[in-house]
Amino acid sequence: MVIINKIQQYFENRKLSSNPLVAELQRALSRDRVLEEEEDRLLHSKDESVFEGGLAGPVCFPRTTEEVQAIMRIAQLFEHPVIPRGAGSGLAGGAVPLGAPIVVAMTEMNKINEVDIDNRIAWVEPGVINFELSEYLRPMGFHYAPDPSSQQICTIGGNVANNSGGPHCLADGVTDSHVVAIEVVLPDGELGQFGGIDSEPRGLDLRGAFIGSEGTLGITTKIAVRLTPNPEEVQTILISFATMRKAAETVSAVIANGIVPAAMEAMDQKTIEVIEKHIPAGYPTDVGAVLLVEVEGLPDGVENDALQICEIAEAHEALDIKLAQNSWQREALWKGRKSAFGASTYLAPNYYLHDTVVPRSQLANVLDKVNELAAANELTVMNVFHAGDGNLHPLILFDAEEEGTLERVHAVGAEIVKISLEAGGVLSGEHGIGIEKQEFMSELFTDEDLRHQNKLRYAFDPQCRINPGKILPIGHSCADIQTLHKPPEGIWV
- Which CATH number belongs to the domain containing residue 187 in this structure? 3.30.465.10
Distance from C-alpha of 380 to C-alpha of 270, rounded to nearest angstrom: 9
Residues 355 and 262 in one domain: yes
Q: What pLDDT, on a 0 to 100 scale, did the predictor assign at position 131?
A: 97
Residues 147 and 287 in one domain: no
Residues 187 and 240 in one domain: no
Q: What pLDDT, on a 0 to 100 scale, did the predictor assign at position 53?
A: 86
What is the dihedral sign for C-alpha 283, 289, 294, 295?
negative
Are 185 and 65 in contact, with CB atoms under 8 Å apart?
yes
Looking at 422, 446, 474, the residue that finishes a domain is 422
Residue-number span of the structural domain to which 126 is assigned: 112-229
* Phi (first) and psi of residue 396, to 5 degrees: -90, 120
Residues 120 and 256 in one domain: no
Find the mean pLDDT for residues 251-256: 96
| Domain CATH number, residue 402 | 3.40.462.10
How many Å from the N-terminal Cα to the C-terminal Cα in the chain?
41
Bridge-partner residues for 289, per DSSP? 241, 268
Q: What pLDDT, on a 0 to 100 scale, did the predictor assign at position 14?
A: 55
Is residue 409 in some structural domain?
yes
Q: What pLDDT, on a 0 to 100 scale, did the predictor assign at position 489?
A: 44
If you average pLDDT over every residue of the chain, what do you get?
A: 93
Residues 332 and 362 in one domain: yes
Is residue 100 in some structural domain?
no
Are 122 and 227 in contact, with CB atoms under 8 Å apart?
yes
pLDDT in tens, 131-178: 999 999 999 999 999 999 999 999 999 999 999 999 999 999 999 999
For residue 491, is pLDDT > 50?
no
Is residue 289 in some structural domain?
yes
* Phi (first) and psi of residue 10, to 5 degrees: -60, -45
For residue 30, is pLDDT > 80?
yes
Q: What pLDDT, on a 0 to 100 scale, did the predictor assign at position 475?
A: 84
Q: What pLDDT, on a 0 to 100 scale, did the predictor assign at position 493?
A: 41
Residues 244 and 386 in one domain: yes
pLDDT in tens, 298-312: 999 999 999 999 999
For residue 370, is pLDDT > 80?
yes
Q: Which comes out higher in pLDDT, residue 20 or 489?
A: 20
Distance from C-alpha of 249 to C-alpha of 471, rounded to nearest angstrom: 34
Looking at 203, 229, 255, the residue that finishes a domain is 229
pLDDT in tens, 93-134: 999 999 999 999 999 999 999 999 999 999 999 999 999 999
Q: Which comes out higher in pLDDT, residue 282 or 10?
A: 282
Residue 192 CB-half CA count within 13 A: 14
Is residue 272 in some structural domain?
yes
Q: What pLDDT, on a 0 to 100 scale, did the predictor assign at position 488?
A: 44
Is residue 163 in some structural domain?
yes
For residue 275, is pLDDT > 80?
yes
Is residue 45 in some structural domain?
no
Is residue 332 in some structural domain?
yes
The total number of structural domains in the chain stands at 2
pTM given for the model = 0.93
Is residue 310 in some structural domain?
yes
Residues 240 and 384 in one domain: yes
Residues 220 and 360 in one domain: no
Residues 339 and 196 in one domain: no
Name the nearest CA neighbour of 457 among 442, 468, 446. Answer: 468
Residues 117 and 265 in one domain: no
Residues 404 and 328 in one domain: yes
Q: What pLDDT, on a 0 to 100 scale, did the predictor assign at position 230?
A: 97
Q: What pLDDT, on a 0 to 100 scale, did the predictor assign at position 3?
A: 58
Residues 145 and 279 in one domain: no
pLDDT in tens, 424-467: 999 999 999 999 999 999 999 999 999 999 999 999 999 999 99
Buried b (16+ CB within 10 A) or exposed e, 176-207: bbbbbbbbbbbbebebeebbeeeeebeeeebb
Find the mean pLDDT for residues 11-24: 83
Looking at 204, 229, 254, the residue that finishes a domain is 229
